[in-house]
Structure 1
Amino acid sequence: MSTSKYIDDAREIFAANGDYSNLSDKDVYVPSIQVDRTNVYFISHANNEKKLVVFENGNTIGDFDAEETEVAGAGKTLVVAPLTKANNDAIAKRFQWVKPISRHGYKYTFGLGDRLGNASNAHLRLFKGRGIFPILGQQSIRELLLTDRTELDVVTSAAWAIFEEGYTTGWGADGDHVKEPYEVEYAVESGCTMITLDATKKIHNEIADLSDEELDAKFNALDDDYVKYFNDTYLDKTFDLGDGAEVHFTKKDVEQSVLIFFDAVLYGEFIYHRFIEPNNLDFEISMDETIVPTTPANHYFFANELHEKGITPETLAPKFYGEFQKAIDYIGDLDRFEREYKIHQAISKHFGYRVSIHSGSDKLSVYPIVHKLDDGTGWHVKTAGTNWLEAMRVIAKHDPELMKEMYSYAYNHLQDVKPFYVFTADKDNSPKPETINDSNVMSLLSDDNPRQIIHTMYGNLLTYQESFRYVFRDRFFKVLTDHQDQYDDYLNRHISEHIDLLQGKAASRDEVRAKYEPK
């Protein structure tokens, strides 16, 4: 499209005085339109390619890194620009809501890790008016490595979605599951407003396997001042949390809590003072990627020790009873989960933060419980990888041959990702690739076992090469680009299942799934 046509578009937009229902150029993406005095900004979708169009005073237009420029007269210049980091910085100078902000003060927040960089627009349309603060830029270092992306790319693509959808009510960016100081620093430098510290390397799960005698000996081998402090503070004490919730510490509770978690408390303190406090960031501590569940006593100990050091995280993620495996529903006793979640929530309320739920994707059976127990304290739920599965649903629908190829590769190379994830799927409980045909290919995404295989293999599938060429990646993104509307529809339906249950708009998994069943 010529720059002259864009000048006509900008003038038409300015003259429309906010009513854009009859714009002559249908490639102008209406939600993106911003008018500031006599300056006009929007995203064009011409030729199936997104570009930023700026119609602005000539003395400021130099902020943008332009592909095309035309002087329009009356002191105005038109620029057509790519959706780069530099141009996002320029647009954010004009519209501050494009930048990620703190989630502090928001009771309900939801993480939407977009591994592919093309799901945020659909999510933002869904979240408008929901009263939930979205965390869009959310990727772990592991996920970045497996997809060949960078933290800066993740934050920038989310920021462009914010501008494109005209989402002015605030969003956050999460440096997710960072473990090392250099990873935290990388996330901070990339513009993340939230840090999720994965404390796994400082959580000593091996302590849980010690006999009572071994545990006691190891605890009493600590410095005398530590032994005295921990016993005086916790041993045989019961802490009243209100509303019938309490936490009691036996001798074993004290010794296990100290030996498993105190090192992580000290590490959290170090990260807080080194990065969180100086940069005014939101702080989440993740205890979930461990072997043993976080007992109420463990949780109270962790929170109280942070409190004693003057640290209140925004959220904390315990490892709940039961299994929160990737891409499938909760496995475990829901009654016990409810009893323990009530205490975890009471602990978080007592210390002034919120519970965070990992891995939140597809845990539909627990969300009615979370809604029922919510007393206004709020929650944070973290989802990510199942956006990828909704993309694979598009592939299964529109290119079943590609889907069969990708499943066959994933099935035969599953051992490559066993070190990264905890999951139950394997070759013995999943359909053999040769049994998959056009009529049953979609079932791969509804059966838990092949669903987990496809989910956990996302990085390998996207980066696998032969003869220096990607085997699946280019075809995958071509199908996804050609059917973005279908992908958006699947994404909205998928995340709606989660937040409808969390907000009490449906009472059960079956009810919410029936609600969003394609007509």
Structure 2
Amino acid sequence: MSEGLRLPKFSLGVGDRFAHQAKAQLAACVMAGEAGVEVVPVWNKSNREHTIIGSEPSQTRVEADAAVKALQWTKPYFLDADHINLKTVDRFLTPCDFFTLDVAEMIGQPADAKDVAAFVARHPELVGTVTIPQINQPFKTDVAFVTAVANKFLAAVQDAGKIYRYLVEKKGEGKFIAEVSMDETDSPQTPVELLIILAAIADEKIPIQTIAPKFTGRFNKGVDYVGDVAQFTKEFTDDLATIAFAVKRYGLPENLKLSVHSGSDKFSIYKAIHDGVKKFGAGVHMKTAGTTWLEELIGLAEAGGTGLEIAKEVYAEAFAHAEELCAPYATVIDIDPAKLPKPEEVNGWTSAQYTSALRHDQGNKAYNPSFRQLLHVGFKVAAKMGDRYLKALEANEEVVARNVTTNLYERHIKPVFLGK
């Protein structure tokens, strides 16, 4: 890993759907540096989001570069082609230097029987008693088990290999960071399953610098973690131990780290992440930290006047089209329709009432997770407003930026990276 782009130890995946908040987001990373920890930004925006908004990855690049120049940021920063595959990658080739290889569709698709047999034969160390340092209990496996795991994941890893080689062909080796996403599967990988996946990735010669496994619990968009925190803690630390072992055993990049596809705002597990990373001296990529689009709405509502009117209009439209907006995100939202206020009620709200319902402050009785999740998936409404929404952001830049920066630094960077 001496040559080529290298992802630093701590990185923060941030979305900027309307390409107006890169400076405000970067300001939070500057504050982290002032507090004594380097956290580098990775701006991520998926093909789906670009398609819904009608934007291009090149616009994200322009905004990120301008922010870096304005704040005189001299540390690394990256643009993530979020969840790409061979069908969607081309538009991201020029502007992006970080690629999340999404192989979800291939997980569970049986690999060629000869490939599976060859993999099992190549890795006798995975059969029998498998001891991973820093995990107390050795694992017992047999040929049937390793074959079954390879059958579930090998085709997906081979697919990642195809995407990776295509990127090398188009961009050149060492010119981008590769992440493999394995979080969209039915159940969390055990340490041995993760080890098998990492062995397969090493066989494919993909120099991944981050991997996103599946964890227990629900990672709904923009709201807190729902699940057993103790179980998450065990899985997270076991994964850290497995990665450290696999790096040495299979020659994977020594800076390989976990990526937590959080869906943002998983406050309950931030202490576990901080403590685990500290214990292992490991890095972490906290992906989708802080829902910037919701902070824009909070800023507009806080500003009052036209800003508040637009925030209310976005909710009314989202409420009217809830089914259509929620459908693509059905697996990562839990909205109770009975808890959604009627638009007529919201139209009578003050700035404080709107922001109290939307801002993720669990100590505030007015906070409404269903209201928040509907607005989270409602960015399409703002996209349809076009210039009117963007001009409102620009007119209220100061209050919006303050909310974006404060949210990222206080609620995400401090607990995850500083342990505060």
Cα 1:406–1:175 shift into 2, 3 Å: same
Please show how residues 20-169 of structure 1 align to structure 2 within 5 Å. Answer: 104=6, 106-128=8-30, 129=33, 131-169=37-75
The one-letter code matched in structure 2 to 1:327 is G
The equivalent of 1:176 in structure 2 is: 82
Is the 1:360–1:383 Cα contact (8 Å) retained in structure 2? Answer: yes
Q: Distance in 1 between matches of 2:241 and 2:135?
A: 8
The equivalent of 1:402 in structure 2 is: 310
Is the 2:102–2:160 Cα contact (8 Å) retained in structure 1? Answer: no
The equivalent of 1:463 in structure 2 is: 383
Output the aligned Cα RMSD: 2.7
The one-letter code matched in structure 2 to 1:408 is A
Which secondary structure state, in structure 2, belongs to the residue aligned with residue 356 of structure 1? strand
Is the 1:246–1:343 Cα contact (8 Å) retained in structure 2? Answer: no
The structure whose residues are more often helix, as a share, is: 2
Q: Distance in 2 between matches of 1:342 and 1:229?
A: 29
The equivalent of 2:414 in structure 1 is: 500
**Runs of 5+ in structure 1 lacking a partner?**
1-100, 208-217, 465-471, 507-519
The one-letter code matched in structure 1 to 2:382 is L
1:73-100 deviation per Cα after TM superposition (whole angstroms, max 9, x unaligned) = xxxxxxxxxxxxxxxxxxxxxxxxxxxx
What's the offset of the Cα at 1:256?
A: 4.1
Please show how residues 246-261 of structure 1 align to structure 2 within 5 Å. Answer: 247-249=139-141, 253-261=145-153
Q: Distance in 2 between matches of 1:489 and 1:113?
A: 16
Q: Distance in 1 between matches of 2:342 and 2:4?
A: 47
Q: Distance in 2 between matches of 1:139 and 1:283?
A: 15
Cα 1:146–1:360 shift into 2, 3 Å: same
Aligned residues: 384
The equivalent of 2:136 in structure 1 is: 244
Is the 1:138–1:175 Cα contact (8 Å) retained in structure 2? Answer: yes
What's the offset of the Cα at 1:136?
A: 4.1
Q: Distance in 1 between matches of 2:115 and 2:205?
A: 23
Cα 1:138–1:261 shift into 2, 3 Å: same
The one-letter code matched in structure 2 to 1:262 is L
The equivalent of 2:322 in structure 1 is: 414
What's the offset of the Cα at 1:231?
A: 8.6
Q: Distance in 1 between matches of 2:301 and 2:68?
A: 29
The one-letter code matched in structure 2 to 1:416 is E
The equivalent of 1:197 in structure 2 is: 101
**Runs of 5+ in structure 2 lacking a partner?**
248-253, 359-366
The one-letter code matched in structure 2 to 1:500 is K
2:276 is aligned with 1:381: no
Q: Distance in 2 between matches of 1:219 and 1:127?
A: 42
What's the offset of the Cα at 1:427?
A: 2.1
Is the 1:135–1:174 Cα contact (8 Å) retained in structure 2? Answer: no
Moved over 6 A (4+): 218-224
Q: Distance in 1 between matches of 2:190 and 2:153?
A: 11
What's the offset of the Cα at 1:149?
A: 0.7
The one-letter code matched in structure 2 to 1:157 is E
The one-letter code matched in structure 2 to 1:425 is I
The one-letter code matched in structure 1 to 2:15 is G
Match of residue 491, structure 1, among 404, 410, 417: 404
Cα 1:491–1:244 shift into 2, 3 Å: same
Which secondary structure state, in structure 1, belongs to the residue aligned with residue 93 of structure 2? helix
Match of residue 438, structure 1, among 349, 355, 361: 349
What's the offset of the Cα at 1:296?
A: 2.4
Cα 1:404–1:246 shift into 2, 3 Å: farther
TM-score, reference length from structure 2: 0.83
Deviates more, 1:295-304 or 1:362-371: 295-304
Match of residue 387, structure 2, among 474, 480, 494: 474
Is the 2:15–2:291 Cα contact (8 Å) retained in structure 1? Answer: no
Is the 1:253–1:298 Cα contact (8 Å) retained in structure 2? Answer: no
The one-letter code matched in structure 1 to 2:311 is M
Higher relative contact order (CA 8 A, sep 6+): 2
TM-score, reference length from structure 1: 0.68
The structure whose residues are more often strand, as a share, is: 1
Q: Give the fraction of aligned pairs with identical amino acids, expressed as a percent.
A: 27
